[in-house]
Amino acid sequence: RSVIVGGRPLVPASVVPEDLISQCQVVLQGKSRNLIIRELQRTNLDVNMAVNNLLSRDDEGEGDDDDSQDSYVP
pLDDT per residue as tens digits for the range 4-58: 555 667 889 999 999 999 999 999 999 999 999 999 999 999 999 999 999 998 8
Cα(41)–Cα(33) distance, integer angstroms: 12
Neighbouring residues of 32: CB distance < 8 A, sequence distance ≥ 6:
none
Q: Is pTM, for the whole model, over 0.85?
A: no
Strands (E) located in 20-66: none
Q: Output 55 or 71, whichever has higher pLDDT.
A: 55
Q: Which domains does the chain have, with CATH numbers?
A: 4-60 (1.10.8.10)
Backbone torsions φ then ψ of 54, nearest 5 degrees: -70, -40
* pLDDT of residue 67 exceeding 80: no
Q: How confident is the model at residue 2 (pLDDT cuts 50, 70, 90)?
A: low
